[in-house]
Amino acid sequence: MTSTTVEEIDLNESTFDTAAFAKQALSNRRALASVIDHTLLKPEATRQQVLKLCAEAAEYRFACAMVNPAWVTTAHAALVGTGVPVGAVIGFPLGTSLCTTKRDEAAALVRLGARELDMVLNIGLLKSGENALVQKDIRGVVEIAHEAGAILKVILETSLLSLEEKLRASELACAAGVDFLKTSTGFSTGGATAADVALLRGVAGGRCGVKASGGIRTLEHARSMLEAGANRIGASTGVAIVQALDAP
């Protein structure tokens, strides 16, 4: 078994080879782990559980360890020197914080060591047709993240959106300069679907990544997301997903 990671496959400015990426990501455990955000966002999560998440992230070489803001300092201390970044959520899970609050939160989190930020867009503004405000909300956090060398994923909460709203939200986020479009928080009425991932990839092309998140608990579910066009998976069961790849 080789230890090649999916980093060998480039995102072109205008295209993304879904089949090639999925094949490589599913070729071995290390490659699969490298596209999974190992996630613990439950409000009742304890320090010990966060430390366990970080230990697993370092052992399996997950893309990042994704935690709530209050645990970023703990996660950063646990992962320093491992090469595995800390991820944190912003405006989570509703997306209705003030624009200034989201920017302040982003600035605080990157100072504390977060290098991947997952931000919920303002769904109410989107549904109100306030496109300029939606884009401004996202762009403000993009600028702070990129200035700090961090990446930003914007959570669309696709289960709450119509087809037109999904397309419009995706385009606004891409125009704002996000690094990933993300399907779901996992705290709303539904999670990731292959159809939504394919839709987001259709808008993004190779301009940015697509993260499937929300209810992804098995290898087969993760496989379906990758084959639909995701190049990042958010899951709280990352260890089980990776271990299932070449299980008998």
Give the pLDDT confidence of 189-230 residue by residue, as tens digits. Answer: 999 999 999 999 999 999 999 999 999 999 999 999 999 999
| Total structural domains within the chain | 1
Please report whether residue 24 resides in a domain: no
- State whether residue 231 is helix, strand or coil: coil
Catalogue the active-site residues. Answer: 118, 182, 211
Mean pLDDT of 150-167: 98
Please, are residues 122 and 133 in contact by the beta-carbon 8 Å criterion? yes
Please report whether residue 6 resides in a domain: no
> Which contacts of 79-82 are long-range, i.e. CB under 8 A and separated by 24 or more positions?
79/54, 80/113, 82/57, 82/58
Please report whether residue 1 resides in a domain: no
Residue 169 has a pLDDT of: 98
Q: Tens digits of per-residue pLDDT, 137-156? A: 999 999 999 999 999 999 99
Expressed in angstroms, the distance from the first to the final Cα of the chain is 15
* Amino acid code (one letter) for 189: T
Please report whether residue 111 resides in a domain: yes
Please report whether residue 182 resides in a domain: yes
Residue 18 has a pLDDT of: 96
Q: Tens digits of per-residue pLDDT, 90-130? A: 999 999 999 999 999 999 999 999 999 999 999 999 999 99
Q: Where does the pLDDT of residue 246 fall: very low under 50, low under 70, confident under 90, or very high at 90 and above?
A: confident
Q: In which domain, by residue range, is 80 found?
A: 31-243
* pTM confidence score: 0.94
What is the CATH number for 206? 3.20.20.70
Please report whether residue 21 resides in a domain: no
Assigned token pair, 189: 């009425």
Q: Where does the pLDDT of residue 15 fall: very low under 50, low under 70, confident under 90, or very high at 90 and above?
A: confident
Please report whether residue 20 resides in a domain: no
Please report whether residue 168 resides in a domain: yes
